[in-house]
Amino acid sequence: MFNWLKTAVLMAAIVALFGIIGAALGGQSGMLLALGFALLMNLGAYWFSDKLVLRMYNAQQVDASTAPELFNMVKELADKAGIPMPRVYIIDDQAPNAFATGRNPANAAVAATTGIMRLLSAREMRGVMAHELAHVAHRDILISTISATMAGAISALANFAMLFGGRDSEGRPSNPIASIAVMLLAPIAASLIQMAISRAREFEADRGGAEISGDPLALASALEKIDHFARGVPFEAAERHPETAQMMIMNPLSARGVAGLFSTHPATEDRIARLRELARAMNG
Cβ contact 123:218 at 8 Å: yes
Phi, psi at 190, each rounded to 5°: -60, -40
- How many other C-beta atoms are found inside a 10 Å radius of the C-beta of residue 67? 19
Strand partners, 108: 102
Residue 12: burial class (beta carbons within 10 Å; 0-12, 13-18, 19+): exposed
**Rounded Cα distance, 54 and 151, in Å:** 17
DSSP string, 34-63: HHHHHHHHHHHHHHHHHHHHHHHTT-EEE-
Active site residue 132: yes
167 Rama class: left (phi>0) / alpha (psi -120 to 50) / beta: beta
Candidates 132, 170, 224, 239; catalytic one:
132
- Nearest Cα neighbor of 116 from 103, 125, 129 is 125
Judge contact between 246 and 145, C-beta under 8 A: no
Q: Which of 249, 264, 251, 263 is nearest to 111 (CA)?
A: 249
Contact 135, 201 (CB under 8 A): yes
Alpha carbon separation from 93 to 60, 118, 120, 154, 159 (Å, rounded): 12, 11, 15, 28, 29
The whole-angstrom distance between residue 157's C-alpha and the CA centroid of its chain comes to 20
User: Catalytic site residues?
Assistant: 132
